[in-house]
Structure 1
Amino acid sequence: MPLNVPPTINRIISGTAAERAMFHHVCQCTITEFGNVALLSRLWSHYIVPLGYYSDSVKHALIALGSSHRAFVGDQHHRHHHGLVDTKSYEDLAVQQYSKAVRAAAADMQNLTPVTVRTSLVCCIIFICFEIMQGRYDKALQHLRSGSKILESISKAAAGPAHPSSASPAQKCLAETGTRYYFQLCDIADMFACLASDAAFLMEEGEVIPDLSFYWRVIGSKDVSEPFSGVDEARYELYRVEQALGKALSFSFRGKAPISWTAFLNLPEESLPQGDEWFEEWTVARHLFDVWSARLDSYGKALATRDDVSDKELWEAQMMEFIRKDWAMLIKISEASQSRPVHRKHFLELIDEAEVLVQSDSGGKEQPPPVFTLAADVIPRMVFIAAFSEDRDLQDRAIRLLYAMRRREGMWDSRELASVLQSILAARECDGWDREFEKVSLPRLAGMLQSLNLYEGGGTLPLATLVDEEASTQ
């Protein structure tokens, strides 16, 4: 993977003691919580953070993110103040540094070069994380879409025009960027696609960014007996599987196909509907899942024979097994010939495993510190159980776990979602509540609960920012 900035994360950056401390916080605390998301921990540590030593826009963006994250986790977990005495001090520094980063990024784009194009993409990634930390999900989505459009423009420029002499200077710059730094852009595009996929499942409105398949790497081994080389490869292939399944499901677990999937799958081969894009998407996604699942089995067996397995690698393997079990259940539901309730034991197993994973990730602490990570792994599964199990004991247990885990996985905030789900359960007891209301997405439900004065959590709901005012009243 060609990277053009050396990973010099131990160097001292210029700035005040507080700025240097927050830059260090990003390196040592913030990005370590992001997890092994499709090789993206490497992207942060080997490219994004080192770029902060050379680019003012990236440096200030990282300091803003570090300050915001420090305010999020609280002082009790990091006691070295460096002149910042309380949460408000961190928040003020975050806002100040964010403004500097935006101004520097705007100045960069006035001088379009392959360097400034890539620093702009990196700033978009950091701004997405910053806005999520600030609870401004709508702004995070804007940065997500802006960066994705830049990537789309690069791919189009790299693929044409047929006559380079007719290309504008901007097109030539984008084409050069796409040609010379393709593999680096693949990592960046993966970051956007991962964040977009998790956001799409939350919003349930289909894909939220343009097609970035120009940057897809060749899929890994299709030999079901070949174990993954490590958690990085397993995570990357899982991300591709979830994208494919998400696209086939329109990024909604509640969508209904006009004909049951089992009816399709049981048709004789010669009578399969030709040209049916949905069927093709589903069969491809299903095959990717089956291959990934078989390779995960092989990987698990290989891990069992090793003596040098780290706690982190073991935890990641357990997390992927948890995700595999959830997808297998959803696929079984979707392919059933008729709608059937999920057996209670499947939900119980998922909650049990989620509790173990969260406790293990927090080091077994009774009062774990808040966690901000980029991969929406645990929270969506607990939300699904709380929203759709129709078993009040299971719902209450899932909501209690969401409250207790204090996690923010991308735009999925466990405590915010727990309070929304609790409000929905309470609203069901009100005369003015119609269960038909619950057919909309969680962001729309959040806006509806607020507008009907049925939200019991108090304060504002960042979720509701994902729906514009006009849409939320329809």
Structure 2
Amino acid sequence: MTNAAPQDMKTILMCCLIFICVENMRGRYEEALRHLKAGLRLLISLRPTSQVATLRHWGVCGTDTRQDVADDIPQDDELDSLALLFSRLALDTSVLTDGDVVSHLEMLGQPESIQFPVSSGYPTPFTTAAAARDELHRFEIFHDIYYERVFQKNTPNTDGPLEFDQEDKDIYRMLYQQYQWWRVCFDLYVETRRNSATLEEKDLIAKLRLNQLTWNALFKHDHWSLDLDPILVPSELEAIVEQAETIACSTSTRHHPVFTFDADIIPSLSYVGAFSDDPDLLRRLVKVLRKLKVREGPWDSDELAEIYEGVLVAREQYGQVISGYPGGLLSVAEALAALGLPCVKPTNSILRLSSSIKGYSIGGNIDAV
């Protein structure tokens, strides 16, 4: 492909996205993941080798520093848009696989050219809900980059806990402040549209509110460790489920499942299932997942409901508590497969993915009640 024209490369990337969507719709996540990684490799190969890559044009160099980026690389809006789509898919998929699907540092080019965002002045409302979504995604990329850099620094010490130097802690606090800035701007936007939002805006606002509640629960000041247990508050997890129930009520007249490109709802609910040990909340979680009838990228609400129903059945009927799974959702699926619970179908795509990823390290414990 080294001699292919730029437009041919973009066509290949667009075909990759189509293949990913088709395989996700069919529940063939391992095939979708293969196409995703292939597309990302091609996308990375197209980036300029000595300057910031295409993602610079949608803000990954920092809101206040975009004008400082070298102008000798022509802007390619089509490639930038494709990079954004691949990045969204990669972040959504990484929550499912509990591992990075793409190196945003590679997508950006030189790591030293990354400038983390600093907001100044008074926050103002977002102009649209779509602008709020795009800015939240930009923050999520920075968050991913932050931990990727930390892991790179800790590479020689992979067996011990992550170590954070003063620079790491300072950057973390900057990210925290950036998220708080987003929160205020989003809340101001919601207030301005309280009586005039269209149905489409209301739908996106509800999903962004769910994302906001999720980040509120997971992202706390001065907590840079990846160990979330000390900071998770049951009431915050319940608030996530309540917001999902509100969203599900607005889709209650839906008579058929819906497929979406972005995963705006289900990943948030997966965190509740992962970190809540409240059986009543898990039952509500299963109920709302079944009510949603949606497949978002690599996430299917019915299949995730099966997994968490299996967790409940394992505890209540078999006396087994599935807990402490550093491998994330896939390790839970693997543990449920070992128990052979009838409520988790063999055709469950999450179950199939957990057994198809070679070299995947299954962690966690299955303890007797």
The structure number with the bigger radius of gyration is: 1
C-alpha separation in 1, matches of 2:77 and 2:117? 15
TM-score normalised by L of structure 1: 0.60
Q: Which residue matches 2:357?
A: 468
TM-superposed CA distance for 1:471, in Å, is 3.2
Correspondent of 2:12 among 114, 120, 123: 120
Q: Which residue matches 2:216?
A: 328
1:146 aligns with 2:146: no
1:356 aligns with 2:254: no
SS at match of 2:289: helix
C-alpha separation in 1, matches of 2:247 and 2:304? 19
1:226 aligns with 2:114: no
Asked whether the equivalents of residues 447 and 472 of structure 1 are also in contact (C-alpha less than 8 Å), the reply is no
TM-superposed CA distance for 1:378, in Å, is 1.7
- Which letter does structure 2 place at the counterpart of 1:213? L
Q: Which residue matches 2:56?
A: none
1:428 aligns with 2:315: yes
TM-superposed CA distance for 1:225, in Å, is 2.2
CA 1:126/1:420 → structure 2, altered by over 3 Å: closer, same or farther?
Answer: same
TM-superposed CA distance for 1:407, in Å, is 1.0
Deviates more, 1:333-342 or 1:314-323: 333-342
Q: Which residue matches 2:282?
A: 395
1:237 aligns with 2:135: yes
C-alpha separation in 2, matches of 1:423 and 1:387? 13
Asked whether the equivalents of residues 292 and 301 of structure 2 are also in contact (C-alpha less than 8 Å), the reply is yes
* Higher helix content, 1 or 2: 1
- The percentage of counterpart residues that share the same residue type is 28
C-alpha separation in 1, matches of 2:77 and 2:118? 16
Q: Is there any run of 5+ residues in structure 2 with no aligned partner, and where?
A: 53-71, 149-159, 364-369
CA-based RMSD: 3.6
Asked whether the equivalents of residues 231 and 313 of structure 1 are also in contact (C-alpha less than 8 Å), the reply is yes
Asked whether the equivalents of residues 144 and 209 of structure 1 are also in contact (C-alpha less than 8 Å), the reply is no
The aligned runs of 1:7-46 (5 Å cut-off) are none
C-alpha separation in 2, matches of 1:232 and 1:457? 37
TM-superposed CA distance for 1:433, in Å, is 4.7
C-alpha distance after superposition, 1:417-469 (max 9, x if no partner):
11111112222357795645633221233234224423522232322325525
C-alpha separation in 1, matches of 2:186 and 2:321? 43
- Which letter does structure 2 place at the counterpart of 1:118? K
1:212 aligns with 2:107: yes
Q: Which residue matches 1:155?
A: 47
TM-superposed CA distance for 1:246, in Å, is 4.2
The aligned runs of 1:35-184 (5 Å cut-off) are 112-157=4-49, 159=51, 182-184=76-78
Asked whether the equivalents of residues 303 and 348 of structure 2 are also in contact (C-alpha less than 8 Å), the reply is yes
CA 1:417/1:281 → structure 2, altered by over 3 Å: closer, same or farther?
Answer: farther
Asked whether the equivalents of residues 224 and 294 of structure 1 are also in contact (C-alpha less than 8 Å), the reply is no
TM-superposed CA distance for 1:336, in Å, is 10
- Which letter does structure 1 place at the counterpart of 2:81? D
CA 1:288/1:373 → structure 2, altered by over 3 Å: closer, same or farther?
Answer: same
CA 1:301/1:135 → structure 2, altered by over 3 Å: closer, same or farther?
Answer: same
Q: Which residue matches 2:152?
A: none
CA 1:118/1:142 → structure 2, altered by over 3 Å: closer, same or farther?
Answer: same
1:444 aligns with 2:331: yes
TM-superposed CA distance for 1:340, in Å, is 4.8
C-alpha distance after superposition, 1:342-370 (max 9, x if no partner):
5544333322221111222x2x41x5421
TM-superposed CA distance for 1:414, in Å, is 0.8
Q: Give aligned pairs, total.
A: 325
SS at match of 2:47: helix
C-alpha separation in 1, matches of 2:341 and 2:222? 32
C-alpha distance after superposition, 1:251-282 (max 9, x if no partner):
xxxxxx9599xxx9xxxxxxxx44x44x2442
SS at match of 2:256: coil
TM-score normalised by L of structure 2: 0.75
Q: Is there any run of 5+ residues in structure 1 with no aligned partner, and where?
A: 1-108, 161-177, 251-256, 265-272
Asked whether the equivalents of residues 322 and 332 of structure 2 are also in contact (C-alpha less than 8 Å), the reply is no
C-alpha separation in 2, matches of 1:224 and 1:389? 37
TM-superposed CA distance for 1:145, in Å, is 1.3
C-alpha separation in 2, matches of 1:238 and 1:182? 23
Asked whether the equivalents of residues 416 and 461 of structure 1 are also in contact (C-alpha less than 8 Å), the reply is yes
SS at match of 2:333: helix
CA 1:126/1:223 → structure 2, altered by over 3 Å: closer, same or farther?
Answer: farther
Correspondent of 1:290 among 180, 190, 193: 180
C-alpha distance after superposition, 1:196-251 (max 9, x if no partner):
0011111112353453235999979754422212122111101012233345567x
TM-superposed CA distance for 1:377, in Å, is 2.0
C-alpha separation in 1, matches of 2:2 and 2:108? 28
SS at match of 1:282: helix
- Which letter does structure 1 place at the counterpart of 2:108? S
TM-superposed CA distance for 1:372, in Å, is 1.0
SS at match of 2:96: helix
